[in-house]
Amino acid sequence: MRRWLLLIAVIALIALGWSQRRRLPDRYNPWAPLDLRAPPDLFLGYKLQRLDADAPRCLAALQQSGATFSIVRDYVGAGGCGWNHAVRLQDTGVARLERPTIVTCPLAASLVLFDRHALQPLARQWFGQPVVSISHVGSYACRTIYSQPDAALSRHARAEAIDVTGFRLGNGRAVVIAKDWDKGLDGTFLHKLEARGCPFFGIVLGPEYNAAHHTHFHLEAGSWGWCR
């Protein structure tokens, strides 16, 4: 109920701004371009959805964010595998990826948001250190879900998901999901990070989802978070 009242109030502010020819701040305007550096607002899901539907808009947001990347050509693989509107992402503008990897532009945008607004603040709060490197085991893989013969294609088969395995802090300390998930300070950090990361992705699957995910966070592109 509170969210609906807030939405009505925001719409009223937008209408007032238009009527008086005034420009509302972007955080109160669902149609404003998404600034990946700005704190997330009420319309984050909708703005991510717009990025997914508009490749030039997505690339513009990624360029503005300071992330290091290069555009890669669309690729059509066997059996529906491949990617569209993808980039080779090297860093988020804050932390580098342990290895550059090909991801769709919307997934790259979500990773930038996750790093800036969940990972870095939590790492500084928890350890007093920034995260300088994000470890992963890749994004693109032409396979079905769990590689089962009759299953649907995995989101990895479209470069729309990445499996993150851990993080390295500025002081050299490594936090590894496979060994630290249930261990003291590091484990608490990882549990909190999984929860905070949810709004920036379509799906987040962690070690408690099933045995296949006990070593990593599975992060999918998308606009409305579903976390397990």
pLDDT tens digits for range 96-123: 999 999 999 999 999 999 999 999 999 9
Query: What domain range is 98 assigned to?
Result: 34-227
Whether 176 and 87 share a structural domain: yes
Whether 42 and 16 share a structural domain: no
Whether 28 and 39 share a structural domain: no
Q: Which amino acid is at 60?
A: A
Q: 145 near 152, Cβ under 8 Å?
A: yes
User: Worst-scoring range by mean pLDDT, 2-6, 132-136, 218-222?
Assistant: 2-6
Q: State yes or no: pLDDT of 2 exceeds 50.
A: no
Task: Tally the domains of the chain.
Answer: 2
Whether 156 and 166 share a structural domain: yes
Q: In DSSP terms, which residues pair with 135 in a beta bridge?
A: 166
Whether 99 and 47 share a structural domain: yes
Whether 52 and 21 share a structural domain: no
Question: 3-state class of 161 per DSSP?
Answer: strand
Name the nearest CA neighbour of 140 among 62, 203, 47, 72. 72
Q: State yes or no: pLDDT of 11 exceeds 70.
A: no
Whether 109 and 157 share a structural domain: yes
Q: Which amino acid is at 169?
A: L
